Structure 1
Amino acid sequence: MHSSICMPISASSNAALKHFSNPFLGNFLPSEPCKPLRKTPSVTTTKALLSSSKETVLKDFHERRALKIISGLQNFDRDNVASVVTAADKGGATHVDIACDPHLVKLAISLTSLPVCVSSVDPAAFPAAVEAGALMVEIGNYDSFYETGVVFSPEQILKLTKETRSILPSVTLSVTVPHTLGLPDQVRLAEMLEKEGVDIIQTEGGKCSTPSKPGVLGLIEKATPTLAAAYSISRAVKIPVMCASGLSAVTAPMAITAGAAGVGVGSAVNKLNDVIAMVAEVRSIAESLKMEADRKQITHKQRSFNM
């Protein structure tokens, strides 16, 4: 268990995102900082679009079949992001998650019609990405920060959530509950996030799991922390839970069985060498989720027939 590192958050939610201004991001900010939004008619249009499209963005979660492919919160490599987005589109994913950068958002929406989610721990970075076309924002995908010893406390996450909601009240908002908290604390944080108007809770845990066995046993071991979180949190909140981090085609169906409304997959796809391999991996995971959905439908029909 890591101890929480408390770091100040920008006091002004409308301030422009400046290089090195966010204590969480350090040197990982893109070289071209986001410019502050101008109050133009396009912003109003964007808000209306978000409001009307929110139901569409959440549809796959409500049907318990969402598959979000994640390129990485600190991945600003256009070629890699383009490959991940293409793989998500061609492989049968329902959403794609990229770094919070308006240029990457424009790249993504030129390659797919899937809803684009952007990830960040800086609420001030979200509006520019939303104006560029992102339909969903994610406070989370913290894995890259753990390598530097940075972890996030419940108080910090709640503050980031409130600030994001005040800036973008209509956008679909997902928030990751960190695995560095014990399961009871993860559940309590999820309940508080639901009260703050969060639309989706995302779990994690693959980063802290070190499998002792190879093959299928190792894949199941790798997914155990995030599966446990999905099971516990999904029984405590009414909003959809997305199980992410450390999942594969073997364990993605287990997440749905555990209570998740969808799965998020990152390194299993974005670390592959070429787009063909990425498409194959996404398709494998998508097909495993379809098989699980078909199995449940058959079981439901059999029960109805027996009654």
Structure 2
Amino acid sequence: MQTLFCSPSSSSSLAIFKLNQNPLLPHLVSTPRLTLKRRPASTTRALLSAHRESVLKDFQERRALKIISGLQNLDRENVASVVTAADKGGATHVDIACDAELVKLAISLTSLPVCVSSVDPAEFLPAVEAGALMVEIGNYDSFYEAGIIFSADQILNLTKETRRLLPSVALSVTVPHTLGLPDQVKLAELLEQEGVDVIQTEGGKCSHPSKSGILGLIEKAAPTLAAAYSISRAVKIPVMCSSGLSAVTAPMAITAGAAGVGVGSAVNKLNDVVAMIAEVRSIADSLTPSAAQLSRPNSAFLNL
């Protein structure tokens, strides 16, 4: 069997990945705790399908803004602050670690669709049962820090397993920036064929700006912007540009072809909820051109 990761072997890496819960092991899918059993299966599928359409609406309208607390972030206080900031700051979605109790906390704080991130498909089911409306295979930053990377085949296998377990739930998958750009595009095309609803890009971790200020922010976002540009022209499903974005570069992502942006550390690393709300609002405002901005090109044309 193919190992789920390729990295230097260490106890911390093994603990992070929970090898005893390898999502590709067949016994997991038959574990009783992993079944949605609150409603008849047909009713559950109908409800999830309806939610799926609602969750994807902002992507289809090219105005999605997802605030990410972090795949390994189980700090309830920080997650609560990030969720509150997303809600009050004008985001359309919030993305948290795949934990049923965190999902319950999040839905008590916001009416925004809650997305959960994991690299273990089996973990998604209890989170969906708790109220998550979208699942994300991605937000790999914490794994990169541990020396763990993912191949295209591994991502594709995780996607197939997730779609098998949750055929009616909105599914987003991040294409790893560790792949070359042509390989990212190829993987995105394969993911579309597997029924993925949203492709997420990344690249902030591989970017090392040489400048400060606005130029540095643009340099930081360059890899994920390049991926969004290339992938959005190869697939028909929405592309979410994520990783290394700011209020300066978020609008560039939409121009590049993205249907939305995902923002993590620019928000979740701040010290208090007020600062988080202000940052989310700044990014949300950058994605919503004012009437003055919309009329500016016409005015410039008339003055020629």
Cα distance in 2, alignment partners of residues 227 and 129 from structure 1: 31
Flag structure 2 segments of 5+ consecutive residues without an equivalent. Answer: 8-18
Alignment check: 8 A CA contact 1:46 1:131 kept? no
Residue 53 of structure 1, CA deviation: 1.7
Contact 1:206/1:226, CA 8 A, preserved across alignment: yes
Q: Residue by residue, what CA displacement relative to the aligned partner does 1:125-158 show, whole Å, maximum 9, x if unpaired?
A: 0010001100000000001100111100010000
- In structure 2, what is the Cα distance between the partners aligned to 1:156 and 1:284? 36
1:300 is displaced (CA, Å) by: 9.6
In the other structure, the counterpart of 2:13 is none
CA RMSD of aligned residues (A): 2.2
Q: Is 1:43–1:131's contact at 8 Å kept on the other side of the alignment?
A: no
User: What's the counterpart of residue 173 of structure 2?
Assistant: 175
Provide TM-score, normalisation by structure 2.
0.87
Distance, in Å, in 2 between the alignment partners of 1:82 and 1:127 is 22
The yes-or-no answer on 1:247 pairing with 2:264 is no
Structure 1 CA distance for aligned equivalents of residues 179 and 248 of structure 2: 26
CA-CA distance at 1:251 after TM superposition: 0.3
What is the CA deviation profile of residues 247-287 of structure 1, one whole-angstrom value per residue up to 9, with x for unaligned ones? 00000000000000000000000000000000000000000
The counterpart of 1:14, out of the listed 21, 29, 40, is 29
Q: What are the within-5 Å matches in structure 2 for residues 164-203 of structure 1?
A: 164-203=162-201
For the residues of structure 2 that align with 1:116 and 1:44, how far apart are their CA atoms?
Answer: 23
2:12 maps to none
Per the alignment, residue 16 of structure 2 pairs with none
Three-state SS of the structure 2 residue aligned to 1:119 is: strand
2: CA distance, partners of 1:176 / 1:184: 15
Distance 1:43 1:288, change over 3 A: same
Give a deviation string over 1:220-265, Cα, whole Å, max 9, x none.
0000000000000000000000000000000000000000000000
Distance 2:85 2:289 in 1: 20
Structure 1 pair 71/16, CA: closer, same or farther in 2 (3 Å)? farther
SS of alignment partner, residue 106 of structure 2: helix
SS in structure 2 opposite 1:201? strand
In structure 2, which of residues 67, 72, 75 is the aligned counterpart of residue 74 of structure 1?
A: 72
Which amino acid in structure 2 is aligned with residue 11 of structure 1?
Answer: L
CA distance in 2 between counterparts of 1:5 and 1:269 reads: 30
Q: Give structure 1 stretches of 5+ with no counterpart.
A: 18-34
- Deviation per CA, 1:84-131: give whole Å up to 9, x if none: 000000000000000000100000000000000000000000010001
Report if aligned partners of 1:15, 1:124 keep a CA contact under 8 Å in 2: no
38 and 263 in structure 1: CA distance in 2 versus 1, 3 angstrom threshold: closer
Which SS does the other structure have where 1:179 is aligned? Answer: coil
* SS at structure 1 position matched to 2:289: helix
Q: Is the CA contact (8 Å cut-off) linking 2:64 and 2:259 kept in structure 1?
A: yes
User: What amino acid is the match of 2:150?
Assistant: F
Q: TM-score, normalised by structure 1?
A: 0.87
Give the conservation status (yes or no) of the 8 Å contact 2:65–2:262: yes
Q: Which amino acid letter does the alignment assign opposite residue 6 of structure 2?
A: I
Residue 191 of structure 1: how far off its partner (Å): 0.2
Q: What percent of counterpart residues are identical?
A: 76
Change (3 A) 1:158 1:281: same
- The 8 Å contact of residues 60 and 66 in structure 1, kept in 2 or not, is answered as yes
Pick aligned residue for 2:263 from 258, 262, 265: 265
Residue number in structure 2 paired with 1:205 = 203
Match of 1:221 in 2: 219
- Alpha-carbon distance in 2 for matches of 1:249, 1:226: 15
